[in-house]
Amino acid sequence: MKKVGGRFALLAFVLVLSVVFFVPSYKPLYQSLPDWARKVLPDKGITLGLDLQGGIHMVMEVDEDRAVEIAVERSVSSLQDLLVDKKIPAESVKRTGATQITIQFSNQELKPQVQKLLEDYPTFLEEDSAGSATTVVWNLRETEITRIKDSAINQALETIRNRIDQFGVSEPLVQRQGPKQIVVQLPGVKEPKRAKDLIKETALLEFKMLDEENQLKMDFPVRIPKEKEAETLAQFAPKVPEGDQILFERVVERETGQEFRVPYLVKKRVMLTGDVLSDARVSIGQFNDPYVSIMFDSKGGREFERITGENVKKRMAVVLDNTIYSAPVIQERISGGRAQITGTFSTQEANDLSIVLRAGALPAPLKIIQDLTVGPSLGQDSIDKGVQATLFAGLLVVLFMIVYYRLAGAIADFALVLNLVCLLGALSALNATLTLPGIAGIVLTIGMGVDSNVLIFERIREELRQGKVVRLAVDGGYNKALLTIIDSHVTTLITGVALFLFGTGPIKGFAVTLCLGIAINLFTALVGTKVIFDVLNQRPKVETLSI
């Protein structure tokens, strides 16, 4: 007599454990449970992959070189201010390379004074060979370049996280991948385009003065369709005076929703940037038109007050990512650290604008290098089809086994169910992500799951043909098939592991289900079915076996 109690207990234990782990994965059931039950049960189960619940998977790269350029440009403009403050009449200060600033002046005697300014810019080094009697050339230090590049990606990560938090997505994933890539995953997003725009926007807010003296603006068309922007820019570019640039205001016609562009001649010099904002909120104006009210921090407030005070009756452009939102005339000195950004936008646009302003600007533009977006409808479709196909496939196999192996087939089918339950339990316990290929992996496990039993049964049949008694035939069948089964499982496991290590996204999901399936399969085939045969064989007289 063989002892079966221990093995039965093990089976029961595994089965219960699997069910316990699986329950949180099946949301309707989990939600309907009383509180105490939910406290006892694990709170996380299988997560659905993006391909099943819809959503966005994006890989982006921060344009690091541009981040360095931007940093140098900032130094250029602060240097310009400093020169004015110190009353040093420099002719020009320019960024002359990715990491280089050239300062030009007419009078040779100014050189020591200019050189002395370097003390305020410790991140730069003066290049002796490149300068002349009337020019000084500064280069950004190598250590600083590395620092900027490194902080650019961290800052971008932080900013994107902030924006997504405010956008409101459940369980977003924002993480760094390799030296300069950022992975963003937004499961279940309903408005993918809006989310993408929100993430991608550099959101660099700048206040710049309009050039109202130059006559070039008289030649500008009043407004142009959105598509003609580049054309217009090319037409006027040669005539733009030094220190100025053409920027376009974005105008949306309320009735038709058509977008237009209005060209403006703007001074390149940045008066103030969005760094100094402390808050941004959507408000509704008197004509029910949404606008964004912004608050400066104390330093920014003082600065804004000074700028507006010095430029009363002049027009100031509010520029976001090189597009003008509005260009109001400054009526009076604005104190109190508050301002408004008006423009023709919808409530949603105003809302998104306030989010990006609050979350801050990206240090440099982002380049999307991979973008997978799955709509929620396709996700549901995939689940339905996948589940249907799985059930149907399972049914076919179950029937086949019963027809071909009779009682033994039914035992194998029991193992199959056990297999499925354990697999779902294991996936839940690992909080694995179930992807569409993952469903295929489960289906495949069904197919391969009965294979072990087929191998065993064929061996048992062989033993029976040789005239062995049932009990010995069963034991012999299991023993002889054991090595074959292990060999065949290990080979599949090897490919599964390779897929797991080098696969991405959905493929990884497939690999996980495949590997788990194989391991569980080994257990159910060798322990699960054997124990039932042993019980059957404990009857007093066993002369036949339905196989």
From residue 454, give the alpha-carbon distance in Å to each of 220, 265, 401: 82, 81, 9
- Which of the residues 258 through 287 are near another protein (CB under 8 A)? none
Q: Indicate the burial class of 220 (C-beta count within 10 angstroms; 0-12, 13-18, 19 or more).
A: middle
Please tell me whether residue 536 binds another protein under the rule CB under 8 A.
no
In the complex, the smallest distance separating the C-beta of residue 354 from another protein, rounded to whole angstroms, is 25
For another protein, the binding residue among 59, 153, 203, 516 (CB under 8 A) is 59
Please give the Cα distance from 336 to 313 (Å, whole number). Answer: 19
Please tell me whether residue 346 binds another protein under the rule CB under 8 A.
no
In the complex, the smallest distance separating the C-beta of residue 513 from another protein, rounded to whole angstroms, is 11
In the complex, the smallest distance separating the C-beta of residue 226 from another protein, rounded to whole angstroms, is 13
Please tell me whether residue 368 binds another protein under the rule CB under 8 A.
yes
- Which of the residues 111 through 150 are near another protein (CB under 8 A)? none
Amino acid at 123: T
From residue 347, give the alpha-carbon distance in Å to each of 65, 107, 166, 282, 288: 35, 55, 16, 8, 10
Please give the Cα distance from 518 to 448 (Å, whole number). Answer: 8
Residue 337: left (phi > 0), alpha (psi -120 to 50), or beta? Answer: left
In the complex, the smallest distance separating the C-beta of residue 339 from another protein, rounded to whole angstroms, is 33
Q: Which residues contact 264 (CB under 8 A, 6 or more apart)?
A: 210, 217, 220, 246, 247, 248, 249, 317, 324, 327
For another protein, the binding residue among 15, 183, 372, 407 (CB under 8 A) is 372
- Which of the residues 63 through 82 are near another protein (CB under 8 A)? none
In the complex, the smallest distance separating the C-beta of residue 407 from another protein, rounded to whole angstroms, is 12
For another protein, the binding residue among 23, 272, 374, 411 (CB under 8 A) is 374
**Which of residues 15 and 393 has its CB atom nearest to another protein in the complex?**
393
- Integer-rounded Cα Rg, in Å, for the chain is 35
In the complex, the smallest distance separating the C-beta of residue 483 from another protein, rounded to whole angstroms, is 7
- Which of the residues 143 through 202 are near another protein (CB under 8 A)? 192
Main-chain phi, psi angles of 104, to 5 degrees: -115, 140
**Cα-to-chain-centroid distance, residue 363:** 18
Site string for another protein, 477-516 (x = CB under 8 A): ------xx--xxxxxxxxxxxxx-xxxx-xx--x---x--
**CB under 8 A: which stretch of 16-24, 309-317, 379-387, 534-542 binds another protein?**
379-387
Judged by CB under 8 A, the number of residues near another protein is: 72
For another protein, the binding residue among 51, 64, 349, 534 (CB under 8 A) is 51
Contact 9, 17 (CB under 8 A): no
For another protein, the binding residue among 286, 403, 541, 543 (CB under 8 A) is 403
Return the residue matching tokens 């059930």. Answer: 391
- Which of the residues 426 through 465 are near another protein (CB under 8 A)? 436-437, 439-440, 443-444, 446-448, 450-451, 454-455, 458, 461-462
Residue 102: left (phi > 0), alpha (psi -120 to 50), or beta? Answer: beta
Residue 292 is classified by DSSP as E
For another protein, the binding residue among 19, 41, 393, 519 (CB under 8 A) is 393
**Which of residues 12 and 494 has its CB atom nearest to another protein in the complex?**
494
Please tell me whether residue 350 binds another protein under the rule CB under 8 A.
no
For another protein, the binding residue among 375, 466, 535, 538 (CB under 8 A) is 375
Dihedral sign, Cα of residue 354, residue 359, residue 361, residue 362: negative
The SS3 call for residue 95 is strand
**Which of residues 222 and 403 has its CB atom nearest to another protein in the complex?**
403
Closest CA to 352 of 160, 204, 197: 197
**Which of residues 286 and 504 has its CB atom nearest to another protein in the complex?**
504
**CB under 8 A: which stretch of 108-116, 204-212, 378-386, 531-539 binds another protein?**
378-386
**Which of residues 290 and 365 has its CB atom nearest to another protein in the complex?**
365
Please give the Cα distance from 291 to 272 (Å, whole number). Answer: 20
For another protein, the binding residue among 370, 466, 479, 538 (CB under 8 A) is 370
Contact 269, 259 (CB under 8 A): no
In the complex, the smallest distance separating the C-beta of residue 200 from another protein, rounded to whole angstroms, is 11
Closest CA to 149 of 241, 68, 208: 68
